[in-house]
Amino acid sequence: MEVCLRRTAALVARSNGLRPAAAAVTIAVTRAATHSRPFSFSSLTRPPPNYPGHVPLSRIEKAGLAIGSGLMSLRDPRRGDLIAAFAEATATPYFIYRLRDAMLANPTGRRILRDRPRITSTSLNLPYLRSLPANTVGRTYVAWLDREGVSPDTRAQVRYIDDEECAYVMQRYRECHDFYHALTGLPVVREGEVALKAFEFANTLLPMTGLSVFAAATLKKSERRRFAGIYLPWALRNGLRADEVINVYWEEQLEKDVEELRRELRVEPPPDLREIRKREREERKRKQAAASAGV
C-alpha cells in the first residue's frame, strides 16, 4: 500500500507541478477523508432497531411508503394497514414531535408518557365496563364497541417511527381512536370515519388524518352534501377548540359522567349519524313502496 501511495504521489506531482512530498500529503488527506465518510443508508447497512418491531427506513424509503400507502388508502379507506403505514411515514420529522411535546407540556400527558399504558380488552376489563351506569365514560365506550362490532385489540403496532418515545405517542393515539368515536358517537361507517378524521386533524395536525378527509370524495352524493354541511363544520369547530385529546388518561375516566368529560374537553357530540342514515333508509323504502302501489 505504501509503495502504491508513493508511486501515485509521484504521478500527481509530475502532472500538477508539485513536489512528491506535497502530493503524498494531499493523497493521504484525501484517502483519510474517504475512509472516514459514513456508510450510506441502504438495506445492506440498515441500523439496528430502536425498539421491538421497529423497521428503520431511509428518507427515500419513507417517501415511497408515504406515497404508495397514501394513494392506495384513498382508493380503499378500509385498509387499516395502509392507513397505519401512511400515518407513521408522514408523522416525522415534525408532527409526531409536536404531539409528543404537547404531552410533555401537560401534567397528565407527562404521566401517560411515564406510565406507558396500553389499551386492550384485557387492560380495560370490558365485562366490568358493561356493568357501569349508562352515563359513564366506560359504559359509553363499551356500548359503542358492542354496537359497532369492533375490538380494542385490532390496532396495528407502530413500526416506522424511529424515536422510541414518539413511537409510543403514535401507538397511544392509535389505541385511543375508539374512545374518540365513543366520545363523539360517530359510527365506523365510511362517512363517520371521515368526520372523525377531520376532527382529529384539527386537534392533532397529523397529516394522515388530514389526507383521510379527502376520502369524502368517495362518498355518495347525499353523504358528501351532509359531510360538507354538517360534519365538516362540526369537526373543525370542535377539533380546534377542544383540549388536546391525546392528553386524556382514559383509563382514569371510565367511571366519570361522559357529559361532564365532554364539557371539560369542550367537545359537543354531532347529530346522530346512524339515526340520520336510518331515517333516510326508511324514507327511501316508503317512497319505493308508494311508487310500487301506484303502479
Segment 10-39, tens digit of pLDDT: 433 444 444 444 444 333 333 333 333 344
> 119 is in which domain, residue-wise?
59-76+90-269
Give residue-wise pLDDT tens across range 230-272: 999 999 999 999 999 999 999 999 999 999 999 999 999 999 8
Q: What pLDDT was estimated at residue 294?
A: 66
54 marked ligand binding residue: no
Closest C-alpha among 148, 145, 190, 172 to residue 87:
172
Confidence check: pLDDT of 108 > 50: yes
Q: What pLDDT was estimated at residue 252?
A: 96
- Summary mean pLDDT of the chain: 84
Q: What pLDDT was estimated at residue 42?
A: 56
Give residue-wise pLDDT tens across range 115-125: 999 999 989 99
227 inside domain: yes
Q: What pLDDT was estimated at residue 295?
A: 55
Q: Specify the long-range contacts of residues 24-33, CB closer than 8 Å, at least 24 apart.
A: 31/5
Confidence check: pLDDT of 180 > 70: yes
Confidence check: pLDDT of 287 > 80: yes
181 marked ligand binding residue: yes
2 inside domain: no
235 inside domain: yes
Average pLDDT of span 206-222? 89
96 inside domain: yes
Closest C-alpha among 132, 131, 182, 115 to residue 152:
182
Give residue-wise pLDDT tens across range 156-176: 899 999 999 999 999 999 999
Per DSSP, 64 falls in state H
**Whole-number Å distance between alpha carbons of 151 and 96:** 25
Closest C-alpha among 208, 203, 128, 214 to residue 160:
208
Confidence check: pLDDT of 6 > 50: no
**Whole-number Å distance between alpha carbons of 84 and 269:** 26
13 inside domain: no
Q: What pLDDT was estimated at residue 78?
A: 65
136: helix, coil or strand?
A: strand
186 inside domain: yes
36 inside domain: no
Q: What pLDDT was estimated at residue 104?
A: 97
Is there a contact between 160 and 65 (Cβ–Cβ < 8 Å)? yes
Give residue-wise pLDDT tens across range 57-84: 888 888 898 888 878 876 766 677 888 8
Q: What pLDDT was estimated at residue 92?
A: 84
Average pLDDT of span 6-12? 40
Confidence check: pLDDT of 2 > 50: no
Average pLDDT of span 98-102? 96
4 inside domain: no
Q: Which helix (H) or strand (E) holds 293?
A: helix 273-294
- How deeply is 70 buried, as exposed, middle or buried, from its count of CB atoms within 10 A (0-12, 13-18, 19+)? buried
Is there a contact between 132 and 123 (Cβ–Cβ < 8 Å)? no
Q: What pLDDT was estimated at residue 34?
A: 37
**Whole-number Å distance between alpha carbons of 266 and 177:** 17
178 marked ligand binding residue: yes
Number of domains in the chain: 1
CB atoms under 10 Å from CB of 292, counted, come to 8
**Whole-number Å distance between alpha carbons of 57 and 49:** 10
Average pLDDT of span 88-102? 91
CA angle 239, 208, 177 (to 5 degrees): 55
Q: If you average pLDDT over each of 23-27, 101-105, 152-156, which comes out highest? A: 101-105
Is there a contact between 27 and 42 (Cβ–Cβ < 8 Å)? no
